[in-house]
Amino acid sequence: MDHCEWGHDDCKNLGKKCYLCVARDYRYDPVVSRRPKPLARRQQRADKRMGSHFEYKNHVRNSDILSDVSSRMTPNSGAGSVKGDEEITGIINIMEELKTKVKEQAPGKQSFTIKREWLEKLHREALAANKEFWYLKFSFHEYDQDVYVIVEQDIIMSMVKTMVEDRKAVREAELKQEIAEKERRLYEAENIKLQAEIDLLKAKLKLQEVNESADSKDETNGLIHDS
């Protein structure tokens, strides 16, 4: 039977056991649509909150590449006393703010809106936390491999100046090392020259001794011959 004579269209037994349904709803067994169990509120915050995966991935990346500093992730940073999604402390102190969209909300998106209030808030919180640098990292969606940074001009120029000074110091160190190596080679060459001059003088002395010995023998032989 292709349809139910009692008007049901969601019966498990439709077309299978209709001949047994002698009275209304006798063999009626509705199909139950299984809905996924809703997540607990805590799980919803963890899974639905924008950027949770992005924050963790950023923390792992920071921990892998940074040395002499510690990198601390601050999930859901806006809700606690510690602000910023990532704090880098040690030889340098930085506050990072992370923004993205979850992939489901932004599949294939090629644009991302940066709000001025984010940057102003980050500026205030970083100053309050005595951070030297602060910047906002963003990706176009949470699982995007490309990450970009928004930073104030004064900060980026300070970073550029620091890099210039660092590279200048490295270049000076390289030149000093090159000079030291050339001086070492010059000293070695001078030592070789001195040793060669000593060897030459020794050879001349030996030659002179040989000549003097030969002259002495000739004189002795001459005296014997005369006598």
In order of 205, 207, 215, the CA distances from 210 in angstroms are 9, 5, 9
Query: Which structure tokens are listed for 165?
Result: 């000074």
Instruction: Give domain limits for the chain.
Output: 7-33, 43-151
**Minimal CA–CA distance to 70: which of 56, 55, 91?**
91
> What CA–CA distance (Å, rounded) separates 227 from 149?
111
The CATH architecture one would assign to domain 43-151 is: 3-Layer(aba) Sandwich (3.40)
pLDDT more than 70, % of the chain: 66
Instruction: Please say if the pLDDT value at position 84 is more than 70.
Output: no
Each residue of 95-151: pLDDT tens digit? 999 888 765 555 556 777 889 999 999 999 999 989 988 999 988 877 778 889 999
Average pLDDT, the chain: 76
Position 73 confidence tier, pLDDT thresholds 50, 70, 90: low
At 82 the pLDDT is 34
Each residue of 202-221: pLDDT tens digit? 999 998 888 888 777 666 66
pLDDT more than 90, % of the chain: 29
C-beta of residue 50 within 8 angstroms of C-beta of residue 142: yes
Q: Which residues contact 62 (CB under 8 A, 6 or more apart)?
A: 71, 86, 88
**Minimal CA–CA distance to 102: which of 39, 50, 139?**
50
Average pLDDT over residues 13-29: 74
